[in-house]
Amino acid sequence: MTQTARCATLAVDTRCALGEGATWCARSGRFYWTDIEGARLWRYDPGSGEHTAWTMPERLATFALCADPHHLLLGLATHLAFFDLATGHMHRIATIEPGLNTRLNDGKCDRQGRFVFGTKDEVAEPQAIGGFYRVNHDLSIERLPLPAPAISNSIAFSPDGATMYYCDSPTRTIHACDYGADGHIGASRLFVRLLDPDGVPDGSTVDAEGGLWNAQWGGARVVRYDARGVETERVSVPVRQPSCVAFGGAQLDTLYVTTARVELDAATLAGEPDAGGVFVATSARRGLPEPVFQGVWP
């Protein structure tokens, strides 16, 4: 049974064009996210209220915390790179899908500390020409045997790491597959089909009980599904384009939600002036520490 919806409130008014990549760093007690279209990496310290931004050389689609706390693994529009938070230095790793009109999109580390990410077609009517990939500890990159997406999203892993979740947003479905510690990918199965006429699945996270929390673009909501794919909770977001979600705070019981302003006309933005900000809601559930990339910094 779905619990009564709670409402998220504005925490950081950055008005990002396309906020994404919600990530809590438990080591530093700070929240990171990206403005993809603004080509900026953001960091927020809820203790001091301070927020910091780094300008990227191209759109930053996704990223991961690293075992070395001074670095991030970046998934920029066209390539992967390591980023030094102190100096701003970047070390390019590899170009992704050269020759295709795609860019990187969603990504998360698995429980073994490998980075899994997907791509999206960069046209008005995207086609399923992208892919899902994994960056291994030795920085080798392999394409995963999953259906090609038009817009990859919702990448997340169960608490034991044995299930991977993912979606192709335009299909309005979220899928799951068995995921081995050795990297083996099992057959895909339908996990959730969105039935509400508004909203498509975007970024996701998993709580300590194994529930999947999904930000639903166009639906002004974050929805929790249990491990069977049954909706159990929803959080209302006072703007219509929530994009990604993460648990944060000292007890990992604060839900952070990124949002976006792209594709909204002037009249809509007048009614949603906080669109593009970061919102928070207190949860009765607790999240899990974000896995860090265990690959070797060159």
* 153 labelled ligand-binding: yes
Residue 89, judged by CB atoms within 10 A of its CB (0-12, 13-18, 19+), counts as: exposed
136 annotated binding-site participant: no
Collect all residues with Cβ–Cβ distance below 8 Å to 270 and sequence separation of at least 6. none
Question: Is 202 among the residues known to form the active site?
Answer: yes
* 103 labeled part of a ligand binding site: yes
Q: Per the residue annotation, which of 110, 121, 168, 202 is the catalytic one?
A: 202
Question: How far apart, in whole angstroms, are the C-alpha atoms of residue 203 and residue 46?
Answer: 22
For residues 296 and 135, is the Cβ–Cβ distance under 8 A?
no
| DSSP H or E segment with residue 164 | strand 163-168
Q: In terms of Cα–Cα distance, which of 140, 134, 105, 109 is closest to 120?
A: 105
Q: Report the distance separating Cα 3 and Cα 215, nearest Å.
A: 17
Question: Quick one: tokens of 170?
Answer: 């335009």
User: What 3-state DSSP class applies to 169?
Assistant: helix
Q: Check: CB of residue 164 under 8 Å from CB of residue 174.
A: no
**Order of strands across the sheet that contains 102-109:** 102-109, 115-121, 132-135, 141-143
Residues pairing with 50 in the sheet: none
CA-based nearest residue to 83, from 97, 105, 68, 95:
68
Total number of residues shown for the chain: 298
Q: Is 202 annotated as a binding residue?
A: yes
Query: In the chain, which residue ranges form alpha helices assigned H by DSSP?
Result: 266-271
Dmax (CA) of the chain:
51
Binding site, annotated residues for substrate: 103, 105
Binding site, annotated residues for a divalent metal cation: 20, 153, 202
Binding site, annotated residues: 20, 103, 105, 153, 202
Q: Which residues are catalytic?
A: 202
